Amino acid sequence: MVTVFGLRLSGTLKSVHMAELKDRAIPFSVTSIYYILTVYFLFQKKEFDPILWQVLSVITLAILVLTVITFFWKMSAHMTGMGGLLAAVLVLGLKFPNFQPLYPLLASLVLTGLVGTVRLYLNAHKPVELYVGLILGFSICFIGFSWIWA
C-alpha cells in the first residue's frame, strides 16, 4: 500500500482504485517483486519451518500469474485471493482429519460472495473478471497446497 500511495502522490498512478488496465501494471509488478523477495529471504532462513516459504511460494505464483494476465486483461485480484483462501481451507480439511472445515469453509464462502458482490456493486469488475480470478486463485492454490501437504 505504501508503494501504491507513493505512486499516486508522484502522479504515476491516476487513482488508488486502479480502474484502468494500464494503472495496474506497475503496482502489480512491484507487489510481485516484493513477494518474490520475501519468499527468497524466507528460503534463506533455515531456522524457519520450510512450510512457511512453500505456502508463500504458492501465493506468490498466483500473484505472478495475476500480474502477467493484468498486462493484457483486467482480472479481479480480490477474487484471486478469495479463491486461494477457499483452496487453503479445503486442502486443510482434506489433508488433516483433525481439522473440521465446515465452519471455516462456510465463512470463506460467505466472505467470497460478499467480496464478489461488492466488486460488482462498485462497478470495479464484470462478472467474468470475478469468475476467472476466483478460478485462477483456487486452481493454483489447491494444486500447490495439495502438493505441499502430500
Q: Is residue 45 part of a domain?
A: yes
Q: What is the residue range of 34's domain?
A: 2-8+22-148
pTM comes to 0.91
What is the CB neighbour count within 10 angstroms for residue 105? 16
Q: Is residue 109 part of a domain?
A: yes
Look at residue 14 and tell me whether its pLDDT is greater than 80. Answer: no
Q: Is residue 13 part of a domain?
A: no
Look at residue 16 and tell me whether its pLDDT is greater than 80. Answer: no
Q: Is residue 14 part of a domain?
A: no
How far from 70 is each of 18, 24, 54, 66, CA to CA, in Å?
11, 7, 24, 6
**How much is the pLDDT for 70?**
93
**How much is the pLDDT for 9?**
81
d(CA 111, CA 93): 18
Instruction: Write the pLDDT tens digit of every residue in 120-131.
Output: 999 999 999 999
**How much is the pLDDT for 103?**
97
**How much is the pLDDT for 87?**
98
Q: Is residue 53 part of a domain?
A: yes
Look at residue 13 and tell me whether its pLDDT is greater than 80. Answer: no
Q: What integer is the mean pLDDT of 18-46?
A: 90
Q: Is residue 43 part of a domain?
A: yes
Q: What angle do CA 62, 87, 105 make, to 5 degrees?
A: 145
The domain total for the chain is 1
Look at residue 24 and tell me whether its pLDDT is greater than 90. Answer: no
Instruction: Write the pLDDT tens digit of every residue in 68-127.
Output: 999 999 999 999 999 999 999 999 999 999 999 999 999 999 999 999 999 999 999 999
Q: Is residue 40 part of a domain?
A: yes
**How much is the pLDDT for 126?**
96
Q: Is residue 64 part of a domain?
A: yes
